[in-house]
Amino acid sequence: MITRRMIVNILALSIFVFFLSIEKVKLSWEISTLHNNYENLRVENANLKDQNLKLITQFYTDNAPANIERIAKESMGMIKKSPKRIVIDE
pTM score of the predicted model: 0.58
What pLDDT shows up at residue 78?
Answer: 80
Residue 84 lies in a domain: no
Distance CA 11, CA 77 (A): 93
Distance CA 22, CA 19 (A): 5
- Print the domain residue range for 54: 4-75
pLDDT in tens, 20-73: 999 999 999 999 999 999 999 999 999 999 999 999 999 999 889 888 888 888
Residue 48 lies in a domain: yes
Residue 81 lies in a domain: no
Residue 15 lies in a domain: yes
Cα 13 to Cα 5, 6, 7, 51, 82, distances in angstroms:
12, 10, 10, 57, 97
Residue 86 lies in a domain: no
Residue 20 lies in a domain: yes
Higher pLDDT, 73 or 17: 17
Domain count, the chain: 1
Distance CA 14, CA 12 (A): 5
What pLDDT shows up at residue 80?
Answer: 75
Cα 10 to Cα 3, 15, 19, distances in angstroms:
11, 9, 14
